[in-house]
Amino acid sequence: MALNIRKPGPALRERTTLCLGGSTLGEVILRADADLDHLFPLLLTEGGRPFILGAGSNILALDGDLDLVLLKVENQREPVAEAKTDHVLVRVGGGVKLPHLMGWAARSGLSGLENLTGIPGSVGGAVAMNAGSYGTDMAAVLHRVRLWTPENGLNWVSATDCCFAYRRFSPDKACAPGGRFLVWEAEFTLQASQSDKVLAAMRYTMARKKATQPVTAKSAGCVFKNPEGESAGKLLDRAGLRGKRIGDMAFSDLHANFLVNLGKGRSADALELLDMGRSLVQERFGIRLETEVLVLS
């Protein structure tokens, strides 16, 4: 069956954890391998810019009409484990939520993901952004990834042939910028452990995050990357931006590097806060902050 595109598409405020963003031209739901066979021909016939969307947890989308066609990965293949001599390989669909995978790993007594507790994204989005927390990132646990590209279709790629950097992933070992790819499945290297130990570690990580981060707020996570040897949150805090609010958008009063939507926030107010943060940190400390959140216009 040929793919269908939903027109018009949803507003991005309905698809992002920051709850910002205007209307889109259309949305294509991708559930099965066969759907990918029809994706490239569909994109050739449709107007607008294709945008691959996971759980929308690292996106600041502008309000208004956006000429985007969303590609929503809904590959919900449940985790499957394969025991090896000294590790366990776990294969899972890219549309599965990261917290779901982690809960399964804990119940299965598999360790390696505990420090990622509290990250709300999908498996595919986490790989594509090399998501990380407390010293663990996707690069540390990824064994291989099944990618779709317009040029080569669907193929498995070893993690050793990919490029990883701070909140960045590329299927090109040379870290070439750009390139279109979709994370369809991923396979992780985990370690056999005990469920109670894994759960205890996850609870510890979550308690630590709740004490210092607005994990239950409408947020896109950290909005600025940490400069070399510095903490973006501490720089913003020292610049007096903790709790700074414009309209219903604010830098969190728990952690200054988290931008939160307090109700009916607007993207214009969010961007003004980001500009303010960059300017004040540059002025006071001579450091240029680089945006970690993806600004989608």
Q: Which residues are catalytic?
A: 167, 222, 292
Helices (H), the chain: 33-37, 39-45, 98-107, 123-128, 138-141, 195-212, 232-238, 267-285
| Residue whose entry in the numeric block shows the structure tokens 């979550």 | 206
Is the sign of the CA dihedral 145, 149, 151, 152 positive or negative?
Answer: positive
* Amino acid identity, position 266: R
Nearest Cα to Cα of residue 66 among 17, 12, 5? 12
Binning the chain into helix, strand and coil, the percentages to the nearest 5 are 30, 30, 40
What are the tokens at 65?
């009409």
Which two tokens mark 254? 């728990």
Per-residue buried b or exposed e for 220-243, using 16+ beta carbons within 10 Å of the residue's own CB? bbbbbbbeeeeebbebbbebebbe
- Inter-residue contact 17 to 6 (CB < 8 Å): no
